[in-house]
A and B are shown apart, each in its own frame.
Chain A
Amino acid sequence: MKIYKPSSINEALKILHELSGPRYILAGGTDLLVQAKDGVLLKSSWIDISGINELKVIKEIPAQNEKTGSFIWIGCCATFNDCIRSAIIEKHIPSLHQACKIVGGPQIRNMGTIGGNIANASPAADSVPPLISAGAELELVSLHGKRTVLLEEFATGPRKTILREDEIILGIKVPKDKNVTGKFMRLGTRTSMAISKVSIAIHLKNNGKSTPEHVGIALGSVAPTVIRAKHTERLFIERGINQNTIQEASNIIMTEVSPINDIRSTKEYRRAMCGILLTRILTSFCVTPKP
């Protein structure tokens, strides 16, 4: 095993460009060192980017022009705990804030990064449903330049992504909107240090009209990747959020998922819980509408 410790992003990209053979980015280590212990990463190269401070930044980026709008930037090496402490995240991506608070335990939250959580491409990654529901994009970079992709299109299966071997995830861009609310819920077998067996995040943008301007609904652990529930979203956009549509949506959402049986749960249970968690979140919005 070879280890590289670049001191800048550019250096990291150069190393990635020159390397051949299996290579992994080391950031928080909470996934990589676990896999290393299982012996699956022998004879690989590791690029340790944990010391590059500019990758840890969380900030607001004002609109460049009217078309692009402003957004929230989360550097790939920002940890779960960095997100919990960020007033920007708490205000603009509340569902991500809630999700980060329940990931693992305190130590994992101090170490694990949002970029790592995304790159690991687990369908159970807790930070991903909130980000997908909020319409997040990823900025991927290599020596050949930058490209921007939708987060929902990044993972293609468990531990499979569209990331090229010479690329890294530079950061996450989340559109910054006014009047947004969001919420995350999950079911795990215990209160902490649990991998979610079902999770759901909703991101809602209201403009005071009877139908919401934007509804993002994303689900974890119920398909090979974190997925968006597009039919369910459309129902709310078209007909608003009320007792009737919630009831209807709780059935539709169960048709949008493809859960499996594994050591954590059963497909029947997971499917049923999608409807129940959706209802719970939306009912909570109806009861306490946010300004």
Chain B
Amino acid sequence: MTNTFPESSLSIVGKSVKRLDAPDKVKGTAKYIDDLSFTGMLYGAVVRSPHPHAEILEIKIEKALKVKGITGIYTAKDIPGKNIIPLIHQDQPLLAEKTINHIGEGIAVIAGESLLAAKSALEAVKIKYKPLAPTLTMEEAWEKQDILTHWTIVNGDVEKIFQEPGTIMIEDTYYTPYQEHAYLETNGMIAVLDGLGGIIVYGSLQCPFYVQNAVAAVLGIPLNKVRIIQATTGGGFGGKEDSPSLPAAMAALMAWKSGRPVKLIFEREEDMAVMSKRHPARIDYKSAVYPDGRLAAVEINYCLNGGAYATLSPVVLWRGAVHAAGPYKVPNVKINAYVLKTNTIPCGAFRGFGEPQVAFASESQMDRLAEKLCMDPLEFRLKNILRKGEQTITGQKVETSMGFEEVIEKVTARADWHNNQPENCTRKRGIGIALTYYGVGLGARGKHLNPAGANVVIAPDGSVTLAVGTTELGQGMFTVLAQIASETLNCPIDLIRVIEPDTSRVPDSGPTVASRTTLMSGNAVKNACLEIKARMEKALSNENINKLQFQEAAAECIKKSVHLAAHGWAVPPWTTFDEVTGQGDTYITYTWSATIAETEVDMETGEVKVIKIVSGHDIGKVINPQMGEGQIEGGVMQGVGYALTEEHIVNNGKILNNQFSTYLIPVAPDTPEIISVIVENAFHWGPYGAKGLGEAPLIGVAPAITNSIANAVGIRLNEIPATPERIRHKLQEKAKQ
């Protein structure tokens, strides 16, 4: 089997084709949800709980109904179907009925003739509560054993290794904060009755089929009466994976009850205060190495604060647990992973999906082990990385698309790892590395959602329409899929249009997550195109197809009544996971990554300036290099924020910094030099050899930065973000020793 497809055979895959959606986005003509409106449209607002945990004794809406412009106020009692957002545990209501489980939980929705009217009625809804004692921290939840999910991965015998004389051990507890998606567009939906007994919901969303399930369940109608259409979406990063079901079902409820279109857009403060986030984590991590530098054992207790409801936490945790030992061969492992239930905001999906938290811990451990062994951190890692044919901690042999060593080689060369010398003055320079890997697609725990479909139709004029069930979030799906179709059909890309994702066009194609879109929708598109192409070739065999332009060929086929439409369906190779031992072939393939950060630390103020980040990934095949770089640069900057400035401050279950002036994401002047490295070690099942990229670039950034801080000034942070306050505190502790 060849490792790469011969470049010469590809005409458009692998080229930096300009984004198909760019002209509208730069001209301001792209239509986001708040740019749409419908005749007779009402505006919605949500009454939310001020308590983290309480019993609802009474809801009085009479006074609020009299506020000018209010057309209706709806509570749990008005829900015609089930009061449930159907996800993994079926535990989250759309509107709280008897019990409040977190601050900001929705209790009633108000529809009004204007946004101002709807908002001004919020205060007039009078609710009597009986406050209950809340569980606010992971420690309290652990005490009470309020556990939503538990996974175990066991292999070998860690206790034996830890007792062996001569092994070198490092043990610490690591903490990571909430991270906010901070998409520039907040959540928003418009629900419209279709006049045929059904409902259409337009919105800013990542996973139309999740939303479809939620709306159908809440309204108590079959799925074929609910159509979800994605509007141009202003960023997601996982934040519009599970949580848009809430605003969608709320808007749908109001539209269903009132008979009029309803727009519900969350304000920034509301969105930040109550919508999902990256889980805060506590990771107890114990590692042992043999004196020669081989990893001997790791024991990990990995806890996530799930918040009040399970959402996607069980699978976020699962991915984190499977990747918890890093991309290394570790003969003895014992991992216990838990999602704890608290009366705080439910957390959910976020780029990296449970890995960034544990990667911070595991890659800090790797650096500290190297330090203790007096080895170069890179040399130590190279001694332990997974190489072709070796086994992950779940016993999966990694055989295909293994460009890990090439990634590390190229990244260290671009970062000038071996010549980087720290300077000596008030500001000290340091360099740090992190190696990570990312299982592409949903893996063994989400495999029922893994297939994806595509419909390809060629019109009589030769123009091609693609319909898929995954979404464009800015990552570039429209362009990548058009490139794949263009390559496969041998048709100019200008003739191809990808229509807005719509649940009525294709079968349930799973969510747009897990860096699976290029792989899954790409394969579905390719399969459909191959089918059409075969028919065209058969029909035109006498006329030498190569002489005809695509449009002429299509016209000829139409004349001959050739069926120029096809449905593609992609089902990934099977994966496995044994729930007792935690062993199995968990993912179909992995993206292999290396991140090197160069930073400058101010010894007096504790400020960190990131000078340079080199971020390299084996992604099988890059369909569009420019957009691939865009994914890397964006992921890196989210990682820089995670490492240095981003965290939510929580008091009594309430998020105190819920706006862009208090939750601080990186600004333009904070941007370091970012060098992207893409390695192509083809994945045989991927479309043109492609794997996935979206999430990988974020994962290694925080540990690479904290490792570079350690390299610069000799302090180890077991907690991110690495704020000047924390760094200075550590520096002073060190000075006292």
Residues of A in contact with B (beta carbons under 8 Å apart)? 105, 187, 189-195, 263-266, 269, 272-273, 276
A273: chain B residues at CB < 8 Å are: 605
B604: chain A residues at CB < 8 Å are: 276
A–B pairs, 19, beta carbons within 8 Å:
A105-B667, A187-B724, A190-B645, A190-B664, A190-B666, A190-B670, A191-B669, A192-B668, A192-B669, A193-B660, A193-B667, A194-B667, A263-B649, A263-B657, A263-B662, A269-B606, A269-B728, A272-B728, A276-B604
A189: chain B residues at CB < 8 Å are: 645, 664, 723
Determine the distance from Cα of A190 to Cα of B649 in the docked complex, in whole angstroms: 17
Determine the distance from Cα of A191 to Cα of B607 in the docked complex, in whole angstroms: 11
Max chain B C-beta neighbours (<10 A), residue from A105, A190, A193, A272: A190
Rounded to whole Å, the gap between the CB of B728 and the closest CB of chain A is 6
Contact, CB under 8 Å: A265 / B669: no
Determine the distance from Cα of A191 to Cα of B657 in the docked complex, in whole angstroms: 19
A276: chain B residues at CB < 8 Å are: 604-605
**Interface residue B157 (Cβ < 8 Å from any Cβ of A):** no
Q: B660 — nearest CB in chain A belongs to which residue?
A: A193
**Interface residue B423 (Cβ < 8 Å from any Cβ of A):** no
B660: chain A residues at CB < 8 Å are: 193
Determine the distance from Cα of A264 to Cα of B607 in the docked complex, in whole angstroms: 14
B661: chain A residues at CB < 8 Å are: 193, 195
Rounded to whole Å, the gap between the CB of B417 and the closest CB of chain A is 27
B170: chain A residues at CB < 8 Å are: none
Contact, CB under 8 Å: A187 / B605: yes
Determine the distance from Cα of A56 to Cα of B662 in the docked complex, in whole angstroms: 31
Contact, CB under 8 Å: A265 / B605: no
Rounded to whole Å, the gap between the CB of A219 and the closest CB of chain B is 15
Determine the distance from Cα of A91 to Cα of B362 in the docked complex, in whole angstroms: 54
Determine the distance from Cα of A192 to Cα of B668 in the docked complex, in whole angstroms: 8
Determine the distance from Cα of A191 to Cα of B609 in the docked complex, in whole angstroms: 10
**Interface residue B725 (Cβ < 8 Å from any Cβ of A):** yes
Contact, CB under 8 Å: A192 / B728: no
Partner among B649, B668, B669, B724 whose Cβ is within 8 Å of the Cβ of A269: B724
Rounded to whole Å, the gap between the CB of A95 and the closest CB of chain B is 19
Rounded to whole Å, the gap between the CB of A224 and the closest CB of chain B is 19
Rounded to whole Å, the gap between the CB of B697 and the closest CB of chain A is 21
**Interface residue B57 (Cβ < 8 Å from any Cβ of A):** no
B88: chain A residues at CB < 8 Å are: none
**Interface residue B413 (Cβ < 8 Å from any Cβ of A):** no
Partner among A187, A192, A195 whose Cβ is within 8 Å of the Cβ of B607: A187
Rounded to whole Å, the gap between the CB of B665 and the closest CB of chain A is 8
Q: B728 — nearest CB in chain A belongs to which residue?
A: A269
B667: chain A residues at CB < 8 Å are: 105, 190-194
Max chain B C-beta neighbours (<10 A), residue from A187, A194, A269: A269
**Interface residue B656 (Cβ < 8 Å from any Cβ of A):** yes
Max chain A C-beta neighbours (<10 A), residue from B605, B661, B670: B605
Determine the distance from Cα of A266 to Cα of B606 in the docked complex, in whole angstroms: 13
Rounded to whole Å, the gap between the CB of A105 and the closest CB of chain B is 8
Rounded to whole Å, the gap between the CB of A32 and the closest CB of chain B is 15
Contact, CB under 8 Å: A194 / B664: yes
Determine the distance from Cα of A249 to Cα of B677 in the docked complex, in whole angstroms: 50
A105: chain B residues at CB < 8 Å are: 667
Determine the distance from Cα of A195 to Cα of B604 in the docked complex, in whole angstroms: 20
Contact, CB under 8 Å: B666 / A266: no
Q: A193-B667, A194-B664, A263-B662 are in contact. List 16 more A-B contacts (CB 8 A).
A: A105-B667, A187-B607, A189-B723, A190-B669, A190-B670, A191-B670, A192-B668, A193-B661, A194-B667, A263-B649, A263-B656, A264-B662, A269-B606, A273-B605, A276-B604, A276-B605
